[in-house]
Structure 1
Amino acid sequence: MTKKISYTLMYVMAIIWLIPLVWTFWTAFRPKKLALSPSITFDFTFANFSHVWQGAPFSTYYLNTLLVVVGIFTVQFLTATMAAFAFARIDFWGKQLVFVLFLAQIMIPADILIFPNYTTLRDLSLLDTKLGIMMPYLASAFGVFLLRQMFKTLPYELDEAARMEGCNLWQILWKIYVPLSRPAYISFGVVSVSYHWNNFLWPLIVTNSVENRLLTVGLAIFAQSFETGAQWSEVTAATIIVIIPLIIAYMLFQRQFMNSFIHSGIK
């Protein structure tokens, strides 16, 4: 009986969560005159997407977002991998203290650091640049923690066998630990990419030009513009354009995403 109640609540919560997404898709394909109509008809059109794509430089926003997201994850991949390996397999003085201090970053909201980060970028003349958007996120405490947990599950015998074959620490890391931790990297990639794809406040503050504007900021400006004000079909179509890559990515990697947390021991 308890299990049935739990499953029922789970399905109810899932349906509640899906309602806004379903409404967004439904409205995006509806003609303008039927966007808010309570009647259910099967009149659909792709004109909303065409108008959105031509009404704002979404191709530029997409390119900027891809460059920023891929750039951040590439650097995070390198920094998190090396830091996680050091915390998992290398003994050095004060390792536990340094690791605790490193994890403290997870408990500090990113918004608190906006002012000092903005001041630093201003002094470096990096405002309104893609590098300026990326710089505060080139290291990830969450990534280090996730990969460290994954590395600690790998047996020490692999290290010993690799050393007998003449491998050094660098080769052990990149030839053994990284390939065997593929689910954790996929999980970290999904989290990192989705966070920075959806990041709004920081790109809004540090960018002013269309050449460096990201999708989230472009979507907000498009939705508030005079031409599209209260045009729900076009606004929802623009929203679909922004979120569809994340939905596809999650559907492709959801199993690896869940398995990584199970294998790394994170509850």
Structure 2
Amino acid sequence: MDNPLKLPLLLKKNVGKPLADDRALRSNRMRNRILQMMWHGIGFGFAALWIIPLVWVIRTAFLPKESAIDSGWSWGWTFDNIIHVWNGARFGQFLINTIIVSGGVLAVQLITLTMAAYAFARVRFVGRDLLFMLFLVQIMVPPDILIFSNYQVLNEMGLLDTKLGIMLPYFASAFGVFLLRQSFKQLPYELEEAARMEGASRLHILSRIYVPLSRPVYMSFAIVSVSFHWNDFLWPLIVTNSDDNRLLTVGLAMFAKSTESGAQWSDVSAATLIVSAPLMIGFLLFQRQVIGSFMSSGIKG
């Protein structure tokens, strides 16, 4: 017969072990919460560093001119700076030019990269892989290196100081072709085979199967393309000479360097806000679609 004195000892051991495990679990949870709070603090710190200049620009753009240069805090605000800048320079024309250039480049890019990506992903021809590797070399070449050669080509074609001249070097995108080719290769080939058995052509298959299923990739590339050409400065500065074809970034630089607005921080901030506001408003209106497109457009082997 077992000794009855051993039962309390066994009970104490069984009770003590869960208590120790519970303490270890609580300490791990506390440690994880502390680490999470630290990382959140670091993230908020970097966010503050990024947003402080933007807040300063917005505040200065709506401050009266006499308050913009004061060291103290002022609660006054006005729309006169925005109105003065809009009427003082041709920002309306610059905005229209930027929309035309960004939208035109994106429209042509969507066509060219769709055709090229489908050819590299599904069409079999001799030297396809080698040609694709040579095509990807463009990603490693900075666009600024090709400025002189592109300028000479546009000069010979008579396209300097034209909107088409600004857009022409960007009608093809190696990055977009690579991104879309990877998306096309992930789609099941059986879908295309089933469509061919029904008598569908390649163009019909491309427009009805590949393009709709790759919509997040198109959205992601559109955001990158529009943001790049909206903020592009060097190439439009070199190509354009008149206000009729200048973009917002070039117009902002010309306005900031002018003698009338060189020391007027409120005017310069208002002009900067005019240039950056459309992209910020677009992101705020479509932030769910923007984030969702980048989340669902991952690149796999």
Q: Which TM-score band (shorter chain)?
A: over 0.9
SS at match of 2:179: helix
Matched, 1:202 2:232: no
Larger Rg computed on CA atoms: 2
What's the counterpart of residue 106 of structure 1? 139
**What is the distance in 2 between the residues matched to 1:261 and 1:154?**
18
Matched, 1:60 2:93: yes
What's the counterpart of residue 191 of structure 1? 224
What's the counterpart of residue 88 of structure 1? 121
Query: In the TM superposition, what is the alpha-carbon distance from 1:152 to its structure 2 partner?
Result: 2.1
**What is the distance in 2 between the residues matched to 1:249 and 1:155?**
34
**What is the distance in 1 between the residues matched to 2:173 and 2:164?**
16
What's the counterpart of residue 46 of structure 2? 13
**Shift in CA distance, 85/66, structure 1 to aligned 2, threshold 3 Å:** same
CA contact (8 A) 2:195 2:205 kept: yes
SS at match of 1:26: helix
Q: Which 10-residue stretch deviates more, 2-11 or 117-126? A: 2-11
**What is the distance in 2 between the residues matched to 1:92 and 1:4?**
55
Amino acid at match of 1:34: S
Give the number of the structure with larger relative contact order, counting CA–CA contacts within 8 Å between residues 6 or more apart. 1
Query: In the TM superposition, what is the alpha-carbon distance from 1:2 to its structure 2 partner?
Result: 4.1
Runs of 5+ unmatched residues, structure 2: 1-33
Identity %: 60
SS at match of 2:296: helix
TM-score of the two chains, using structure 2 as the length reference? 0.84
Q: Which runs of 4+ in 1 moved over 3 A?
A: 1-5, 252-264
**What is the distance in 1 between the residues matched to 2:120 and 2:36?**
40
CA contact (8 A) 1:146 1:184 kept: yes
What's the counterpart of residue 281 of structure 2? 248
SS at match of 2:244: helix
**Shift in CA distance, 207/166, structure 1 to aligned 2, threshold 3 Å:** same
CA contact (8 A) 1:149 1:265 kept: no
CA contact (8 A) 2:216 2:297 kept: no
**Shift in CA distance, 258/157, structure 1 to aligned 2, threshold 3 Å:** farther
Equivalent residue runs for 1:168-179 within 5 Å: 168-179=201-212
Runs of 5+ unmatched residues, structure 1: none
Amino acid at match of 1:214: L
CA contact (8 A) 2:109 2:172 kept: yes
Residue among 131, 135, 150 paired with 2:164: 131
TM-score of the two chains, using structure 1 as the length reference? 0.94
**What is the distance in 2 between the residues matched to 1:253 and 1:153?**
27
